[in-house]
Homo-oligomer: A and B are copies of this chain.
């Protein structure tokens, strides 16, 4: 009888795992559970928030797509995992048994701080980005100060950098830049830290970029609240300060969603409910449970005065997905070979007229090499990645995407 792999989550991690499995073997049943009926290309959500992309350009309906590759799609919220019974329960009460479980849900967004959720926009989901776009249009009719930033504990700073650069560019295009003081506020100890202790000369590069574009920055602080006309933050001594803002975007902290927590403390890290895995992305207690993507727990690259986390980028997640697929197939075949992905981080921010990109290889120091680049070609690289990825998952004739990472 064919083994069944159940994948919870339909983002880059879940989809890449499913496609990789199917590419390696037809001798498997694959079920993908997701409450969202579509795949969304997360790295382009800032573009959506800016009105530079439409929803249909960066999403793909899963219901018509997955069956083409022989992947069952269950469009429901997964509610509970029973790791001992090897079952997943969905919101409708459906019970789905598995031989192997891949948790790739993506994060639960934690908007800590008073008024943060209410008074700042977010660019972390299609719905949030769509709402952000609407609010930005209103803001432009009567502009004032803008603040973009990141809460303590944030692991994903790239979108904040990208969004603040985009806002600058958009305001210049609209001829109202000079009415808008822009501030970037962050838990990073310095500009360009990125939760990574910096990548090569990322600090200098970002400082130059921000100076050139007249974006002020406040680093090494905790944002503790957002009001309608200001952002409140604390310095390391606990003193409160504020910076005026009429349009605010603050990146939330990422945690594991409830369905991960439901699997118990051996699967979900008690502090943040993220999936506990070893170097091969396998849970140490339940060998048939794997984690892929943002929901996986990685320790911080370094301790920072205000906590920060390690980012998980698109191509890093592809690497995880490929390793998990190989490890599941190896296990089924009785082979003892296991694959540990090289977790390298590639961050690219598209600022509208140019781009700035960094690669850290591997993500956790000591690093073998790092690269940083700024210019139009970096912007094209980001756009090319988006188009290529979306084309690969949509065109059945070409087969599912193959990862090299």
Contacts and interface: CB of A to CB of B under 8 A. Distances in A.
Interface residues of A, number: 25
Given A198-B211, A211-B198, A366 B204 contact: no
Interface stretch (A172-180, A276-284, A388-396): A172-180
Contacts of A367: 177-178, 214
Given A177-B368, A178-B366, A366-B180, A208 B214 contact: no
Interface string A249-277: 00000000000000000000000000000
Contact of A368 (B172, B211, B365, B366): B172
A214 B370 contact: yes
A212 interface: yes
A181 interface: yes
A198 B198 CA distance: 24
Copies in the complex: 3
A365 B208 contact: no
B212 A208 contact: no
A113 interface: no
Contacts of A212: 200-201, 370
A369 B180 CA distance: 13
A272 to B, nearest CB: 26
A319 to B, nearest CB: 15
A214 B366 contact: yes
Contacts of A208: 200-201, 204
A172 B369 contact: yes
A362 interface: yes
A43 to B, nearest CB: 25
Contacts of A181: 365-366
A182 interface: yes
Interface in A181-233: 181-182, 198, 200-204, 208, 211-214
A366 B177 contact: yes
Nearest to A365: B214
Given A178-B362, A178-B367, A214-B366, 20 more contacts: A172-B368, A177-B366, A181-B365, A181-B366, A182-B366, A198-B211, A200-B208, A200-B212, A200-B214, A201-B208, A201-B211, A201-B212, A203-B211, A204-B204, A204-B208, A212-B370, A213-B369, A214-B365, A214-B367, A214-B370
